[in-house]
Amino acid sequence: MKLSNYPLLKILLPYVVGILIAYFCQFPYKMCRLWFVLACSFWLICCVLSPIKTYKWQWLKTLLLLLAFVFCGMMAVNFRFSSHLTADESRLMGENRNWMVRVEDFPVQRAKTVKMKAKVLRTGEGRVLGEDVMLYVQQGSGADTIEYGDILLLSTLFSEIEPPKNPDAFDNQLYMKRKGIYYTGYVPNGFWLPAGHAPANPLRALAHRMQSRLAALFARSGMTGSELEIVKAILLGDDDTMEPELKASYAAAGVSHILCVSGMHVGVIFMILNFLLRPFDLFKSTRCVKALLMLLVIWLYAHITGLSPSVTRSATMFTFVTIGQLIQRNTNVFHSILASLWILLVFNPLLLFELGFQLSYLAVCGIVLLQPLLTSIYSCRTRVGSYFWGLITVSVAAQVSTFPISVHYFGQFPNYFLLSNMSVIMLSFVVMMTGIGLLCVSVVPLVGSYTTLLLTWEIRIMNGIVTFVEQLPGAVTRGIEVTPTQMLLLYMVIILAYWAIRYRKKRVGMAALTCFALYAGTLLIRKVELQRQVEMVVYAVPKASALSFCHQQECVVFSDSIADVGDKKFQYAAANHVRRQHASCVFVPVDTMAYDNSFLCKRGPWIRFNGKTYYLINRKEKVYPMSEPVPVDVLILQHNPVQLPDEVAQVLSFQEVIADETNTKFYIERWREWCVRNNVPFRNTP
């Protein structure tokens, strides 16, 4: 594969570089636009001037053109990130007033609220804004009847989405910023009224109605429970009602990708359509009809399943394949990948930072590049052997190309992914074909009932295989930490190793070994850092209190309601941070009177850690008043994280407090009084 044969790559790379620069540096939009205009202007001048037409000055035109695409990528990202609100309009968003909004996405039902994306059309005084917000409408008073496209009159105030309060926590502010949402609001019962209906995208509304009707068709056919949830996820991309435990089982077995509509599903639809419409190939005049029908069905299916990044990528690539068949031209898979990537990033450059988008393109690139290399290692003489060997090589290629980024995000690796993929992928294909057949024959009661029974047993067998693989010893390696630098080094190792083996370049192989040595060096450096780490963290946990004292790779967590790592509150607030610290946690009730270990001592509200003394205050209880300064740092535990001070939920650094003799006496006297009051033996040092 020569890069010179792919001209689209030459403009795609600088465009992606511009996206990355703008995403991490965020230059002003006007400045990027000025740079883009200057680069294009100088490039046009170089093209017009005759002396520069010679080969001697060709590099200058190339450089200016590449810079133009870099600035184009920067401009596209900054346009997405820049809020069009003025300072006065931003002030209005923070005031409690009346608003007219339009629901811009399908509402998500929750236990206490209905979550929906909305666009603020105007204020109660008629001022037009047009800002996207995230609304949470309290359940009740018809909130569950709100639909996509509804226009609402409501009264609330909008606040800016807050950054994460805990270290290494999910950054919801950045996630929403990539979607162009900066504000959120809560609407209680009785503070909203319906005012009309006007969907922003009628095609999307139609696709959602079709998804709901198809899901209802599966339910009317007699499917229930986990079988109904899985068939809705595999065929329709609707996994909102699926149990978290079932999703976790599929993730542990390494086959969670089959629960998402991806390229395989679009490929099956393409294959069925191509077979059914084969008579249209007999005449040249009917080929256009066939191409139009195939494109219409593929993109309608993509809309029904929610236009996820993987489906959009696959639908775009099959669009090129269909057009190639129409004009009787062979399509190069690399051209299709690059063209689809270019088109999607032009429409939305921030897709580059979506996990589904990254995994989809990495998997397809791994299959296209690595699978032929793996297949050449061994050749089977039988059809059955060739089929299974091809399935193994595809699974290994996809896993190799995606494991660095998946381990970076999820911190775990499914050890038996080959076993589960070889069985579950075949079954998922059968489930998909049977599900499509059920949709076709459901109008015939007898045939539909037998097809439903067959589909139910297929899904039960698939669930049984997943459960069996999950329960095998050592099924999942958890607690893996891969930093962004380590992830890039691993991808450099994979790329250079492929290059060295494919083209037999010894120097490239040495470069791959060098990158691997650098990766091993980062592991050693990280291990030394972990052995030296000493930190204290106060976590912001909803309706709970928790603080941890970490020394090397041991961690003591004091909490009023969290008792183990599996607690949902701890998973939400601190599990990711603890995983990246490689710490083993010991949970101690915060009201424990006495606790000792090798690096920590607790006596009542007094905690001694790392040579310093802390006084622990729990605002649920009445605190003994301290009218004079004492030579200790004060920790405050509260249940409402909104009222926490700015320092909370970060890795705190405390300055040593120098106390004179009077303060020291006061400190000891107050401690003595507390010990007597709580019947605790008094000692001069905590």
Between strands 128-138 and 159-160, the pairing is unpaired
| Res 550 pLDDT > 60 | yes
The residues spanned by each domain of the chain are: 3-81, 87-200, 206-478, 484-530, 533-677
| Res 168 pLDDT > 50 | yes
Dihedral sign, Cα of residue 142, residue 146, residue 151, residue 157? positive
Return the pLDDT at 8.
79
- Indicate the pLDDT class of residue 332, thresholds 50, 70 and 90: confident
* φ, ψ (nearest 5 deg) of residue 127: -80, 125
Beta-bridged to residue 52, according to DSSP, are none
Percent of the chain with pLDDT over 70: 84
Comparing C-alpha atoms, which of 256, 59, 91 is closest to residue 157?
Answer: 91
The verdict on pTM exceeding 0.85 is no
Quick: pLDDT tens for 36-57: 788 777 777 777 765 545 566 6
- As a whole number, the mean pLDDT across the chain is 77
> In the sheet that 544-551 helps form, which strands lie side by side, from edge to edge?
534-541, 544-551, 554-559, 584-589
Average pLDDT over residues 468-495: 84
User: What b-and-e string marks burial along 329-351, b requiring 16 or more CB atoms within 10 Å of the CB?
Assistant: eebeebbbbbbbbbebbeebbbb
How far apart are the C-alpha atoms of 68 and 14, rounded to whole Å?
Answer: 9
Average pLDDT over residues 183-197: 86
- What is the Cα 17 distance to its own chain's centre? 21
Average pLDDT over residues 184-200: 84
DSSP 342-388: HHHHHH-GGGGG-HHHHHHHHHHHHHHHHHHHHHTT---SSHHHHHH
| Res 518 pLDDT > 70 | yes
Average pLDDT over residues 533-545: 80
The CATH architecture annotation of domain 87-200 reads: Beta Barrel (2.40)
Return the pLDDT at 148.
85
| Res 101 pLDDT > 80 | yes
Residue 556: both structure tokens together: 């003591």
User: Best-predicted range by mean pLDDT among 332-336, 345-349, 487-491, 550-554?
Assistant: 487-491
Return the pLDDT at 297.
83
Quick: pLDDT tens for 655-665: 222 233 334 44
User: Best-predicted range by mean pLDDT among 21-35, 204-218, 398-412, 484-498?
Assistant: 484-498
Residue 496 or 246, more confident: 496
